[in-house]
Structure 1
Amino acid sequence: MRRGHFSLNELPAWSTLNGVNFLDVIVASINGRGNGLVAKKDLISQESDSEPLTLLTIPKELVLSAEGVEEYAKENKYFRQLLDTAGRQSARGDILLFLLYQLVLSSPDYQAGLGPSTPWTQYFSLLPSHVSTPTMWSELELSYLKGTSLDSAVAAKLTVLTKEFDDLRENMATLPYWNDILSIDESITIRDWILLDALYRSRSLGLPKSGESMVPCLDLVNHSSQATAYFDENSEDEVVLYLRKGGLVPAGSEITIDYGQEKSPAEMLFSYGFIDPNSAARSITLPLEPLEDDPLAIPKLHAFGTPPKLKLEEDESGVPHWTAPFVYLMCLNEEDGLRFRVLQETDGSRHLKIFWQNIDVTDVSNTMKDLIQDHELRQIFELRAVTVIMGIIQQQLEQLISAQNGDSVAGRASTKVYQAISQLRSLETSILQKSIQALDEQRDQLLRDDTVVEYLTMMGSDQNDPGAEAATDEEDFS
């Protein structure tokens, strides 16, 4: 659908009309960074100041949160119909429906009939029509993510967005006005929905009272790992941007906030479309799949409850550490003392329960590493886990190196995308290589453990003893 027009020159009048206060700061276009907030004069905040210096205030009525969506639905019956029909599944989904509504209201193609516009209707037209997040990249650019941790993540996200839009079309078919837009004019497409999602992910903020929200004007403030400002909600529920205590921003310099020190390079690229080269966060998250020959794979996944992940993270010294709670569940079997039972309640409902050493651990199955610490074979279990993790990392590294050697991104992708992909590949290659080295040392140490040596020696002798094998076969048969 065609976008409306709203320029930066119109923002001061809009801000005055809607109670947004800029204090010694202005919004300006910043080379290579889009719009941003700039100091009109030297801004200084002393450590001894009783109150932080206020730079920007936004009234609660403009905050686009779950509560804000509900308030608007009370005022606009047409939006309430849309929300009742296609929403109320999540705060994110409801906010996307609100943005979709503003897209229509602000479009020059809008023929009226959906109620009056809101302050967000005009502000929406100031938001970019393209966001550099991977979900908005071309198919060619997406192909260069092969081997990185974002490859499967972006593909999964696009699949989810496509299903959401298909469900949206189906639900909207019951609303005459929206059915005309979707079915006859085809004004709203999957690309619009992908854009709305990208706008939400790249501009939403976690507020202490309102939760995940979009805040007009505050969403124009750019990121820096050495941020000079921070935001909060005051006693009047206004969203306020403050200068950090001890901060100094010269006139004409940009004011920044921190989008998240703990976010990995892949998370930054996925949500915001860039990687901060100055960030100290160096981590990678990979999906974990059950072992192919594990007969308990399905119940293990069900009992664990959440999609299992492997996280590799470097500490301040550059030493990598791995976290993967599910891998310990992967590496345990019935002969170790792991059991699954289906319990039926008096009301007829059935529940899958997981037991370790005859103790119900269903609610704490994500802490198997702690639960096995007192077992005599805990070093064996640790060796299994390390071996599995090494295999996963080695496979990921081979895919990444193969992808790097098999294509040439330069000249076939935008400069911004090319730089982001190169950064991501370099960072993840380094983390994977360091992790393999650390795990190799951990495995060698485990293989020298007396318990492990004795266990492996015993297992080797059993495999070489035909009588033992025959007895085992007979026992299995019986």
Structure 2
Amino acid sequence: MAVDTQRFTLLRRLHGVDVSDIDLQKVEGKGWGIVTTEDLATEEEDEARSLMTIPHELVLNTTTVETYAKESRNFRDLYEAIGPKGNRLDVLLFLLAQLAGSGEEVVSSCWNDYREFLPHEPFLPTQWSENERALLAGTSLETAVHAKLLALTGEFESVREKSSDIPFWNDLLWIKKGVKLQDWIMLDAWYRSRCLELPKSGHSMVPFLDMVNHSSSPTAYYDENSKEEVVFSLRPGARLSKGDEITISYGNKSAAEMLFSYGFLDATVESGSLVLPLQPFPDDPLRIAKLYAFGEQPRIHVSVDEQGIPKWESPFAYLMCLNEEDGLEFRLLQDVEGNREMKVFWQEEDVSDKAKDFEALIQNHEISEVLKLRVVTVVQGCLQEQLEKLEPSEEVAALQNDPEIAEDCKRTATALRRVEVAVLETVVEELEKESTALSSTESVIAYLASMEATHSDLVEGDTSPGEDDFS
């Protein structure tokens, strides 16, 4: 992305953004970033040293979009026809208006000019070509990107349908500007990659501050003061030489999340994590009730920290592996007003508000180790299946050699696959240890022996006619 630094500085001054000892410069391997123009240092006990202050009125979120809607009749028509739909969609609608035109007839704001400093070339997986997205086959991002594109397509069609009934916007968006789905996808990419969680204002896009890059060892942070101005400050104890890059943290996210939202992987992080969907057993007669009681999409979270210690968790897996014989029951009860409500019972106790706590609830069960072994086996199987999906197919191998595919897409997709394979292999190894340990306990051995004996009795007692007995 080409940036006119002189124009950037002029725009910053025009909109009252104060800076001290920092500047926008090219950063090797990252594009653009904020660097120091002087040696900077703070002690742990020092007061925060402010490097940049952004006026509150420049911050973009639902509140400011509502304000712009009050000031511009044309934008208000569009906003009322489509929104308010929540912070993200409100901001995207505002950015769409900025993309279509500028000046008083649309909305006059700093974003009229600032959007030229936002990336217009594809940088998130949702903006990749179909062949580039195929590089993600088998990774945890494959279904996430597909689902996101379906959602974005639905949003775009809804915006187009509703705005086409407004003559001003129909003419500006669809006739003069010719806005396309890829434009809407780009606006979503801007929002996801540049949105920050402010202490008071919540999720917001903050111009100028959004030029600060991420680091797992950040040297600065942002906050809001009593005037609700956004203040960018040096971290206590930070020491930087002139020309060093100043960074913040985008949060503790998995490799897939970083690529999905920001378009890059943090090569300095040795740990890794991923989230996989978990489906209930298809032949489980209680599967619908379990999903309803759980209340959210079942998942498996796996991770390996910087010390190489694996961890997994899946609250739904514990509920998924229980049945009525274990003491699980679902009841439809009616209150005094005649409303029916489903309740979850575990060993005759109402645990409807503890559907995500079955890992703890099974601890006192007489066959708790057997129940835990079921869960471990299910999770291990899911992870093993995901590992098999991560094996590069012939199609992926061919795409890696395709000169039409962007090299950055090849590198990041390969890096993501490598991270996820390493995490899964480490966690599967840990699950194998857990399975072996549980299988050697007295309760599990006794349980399996009783099951085998029961099976033998059933076989011996089977007096059904043979295949050739037609009597």
Instruction: Settle same-fold status: TM greater than 0.5.
Output: yes
* Aligned counterpart, 2:132: 141
Compare 292-301 and 199-208 and name the one that shifted more. Answer: 292-301
Structure 2 counterpart SS, 1:463: helix
| 138-147 vs 112-121, greater mean Cα deviation | 112-121
Specify whether residues 113 and 72 from structure 1 end up closer, same or farther in structure 2 by C-alpha distance, changes over 3 A only: closer
> Equivalent residue for 1:129?
120
Query: Where in structure 2 are the equivalents of 1:179-198 lying within 5 Å?
Result: 179-181=170-172, 183-185=174-176, 187-198=178-189
User: Structure 2 regions of 5+ residues with no counterpart?
Assistant: 464-471
Q: 1:242 to 1:228 in 2, by over 3 A?
A: same
Structure 2 match to 1:208: 199
Alignment of 1:433-448 (within 5 A): 433-448=425-440
> In the alignment, is residue 416 of structure 1 matched against residue 416 of structure 2?
no
Q: CA shift at 1:433, angstroms?
A: 1.0
Structure 1: distance between partners of 2:95 and 2:148: 19
Q: Of the candidates 16, 19, 25, which is equivalent to residue 19 of structure 1?
A: 16
Cα distance in 2 for residues equivalent to 1:354 and 1:244: 49
Evaluate the alpha carbon distance shift between residue 343 and residue 40 of structure 1 in structure 2; reply closer, same or farther with a 3 A threshold. Answer: same
Match of 1:225 in 2: 216
Name the structure 2 match of 1:174: 165
* Correspondence for 2:238 among 241, 247, 258: 247
Report runs of 4+ in structure 1 exceeding 6 Å deviation.
467-471
Aligned match of 2:248: 257
Structure 1 pair 43–411 and aligned structure 2 pair: CA distance change class (3 A): farther
Q: Judge conservation of contact 2:100–2:173 (CA < 8 Å) in 1.
A: no
Cα-Cα RMSD: 2.2
Asked if structure 1 preserves the Cα contact closer than 8 Å seen for 2:100 and 2:177, the reply is: no
Checking the alignment, whether the CA contact within 8 Å between 1:147 and 1:403 is kept in structure 2 is no
Letter aligned with residue 326 of structure 1? F
Q: Which residue, out of 68, 79, 95, partners 1:72? A: 68
The alignment's TM-score, normalised by the length of structure 2, stands at 0.92
Q: In the alignment, which of 5, 9, 18 is matched to residue 8 of structure 1? A: 5
Task: For 1:426, give the aligned amino acid.
Answer: R
Local SS of the residue matching 1:311: strand
Change (3 A) 1:91 1:464: same
Q: 1:38 aligns with which of 31, 35, 38?
A: 35
Among candidates 26, 29, 32, match of residue 29 of structure 1: 26
Q: Distance in 2 between matches of 1:379 and 1:95?
A: 51
Q: Shift in Å at residue 129 of structure 1?
A: 0.5
Q: Aligned AA for 1:313?
A: S
Match of 1:238 in 2: 229
SS in 1 for 2:454: helix
CA distance in structure 1 between the partners assigned to 2:304 and 2:435 by the alignment: 19
Q: How far 1:185 sits from its partner (Å)?
A: 4.9
Question: What's the CA shift for 1:190?
Answer: 1.0
**Deviation (angstroms), 1:317:** 2.5
Q: What displacement does 1:345 show? A: 4.7
CA drift at 1:285: 0.9
1:315 and 1:223, CA in 2 relative to 1: closer, same or farther beyond 3 A? closer
In 1: Cα distance, 2:27 partner to 2:306 partner: 32
- Could you tell me whether the CA contact under 8 Å between 1:463 and 1:469 is conserved in 2? no
| 2:101 is the counterpart of 1:105 | yes
Number of matched residues? 460
Evaluate the alpha carbon distance shift between residue 278 and residue 469 of structure 1 in structure 2; reply closer, same or farther with a 3 A threshold. farther
Report Cα offsets for 1:243-297 as digits up to 9, x if no partner: 112222222222111111x211111111100001112441111111111211221
Distance in 2 separating the partners of 1:301 and 1:389: 17
**2:92 counterpart residue number:** 96
**Native 8 Å contact 2:98 2:107 kept in 1:** no
Q: Is the 8 A contact 1:332 1:381 kept in 2?
A: yes
**Matches of 1:226 and 1:466, distance apart in 2:** 63
**SS across alignment from 1:372:** helix
Normalised by the length of structure 1, the TM-score is 0.91
Residue in 1 that maps onto 2:466: none
**Contact 2:100/2:172 (<8 A) preserved:** no
Q: How far 1:309 sits from its partner (Å)?
A: 1.0
Structure 1 gaps of 5+ residues are: 107-111, 472-478
Task: Work out which of the residue numbers 273, 278, 281 in structure 2 matches 1:291.
Answer: 281
2:146 pairs, out of 149, 155, 158, with 155
1:312 aligns to what SS in structure 2?
A: strand
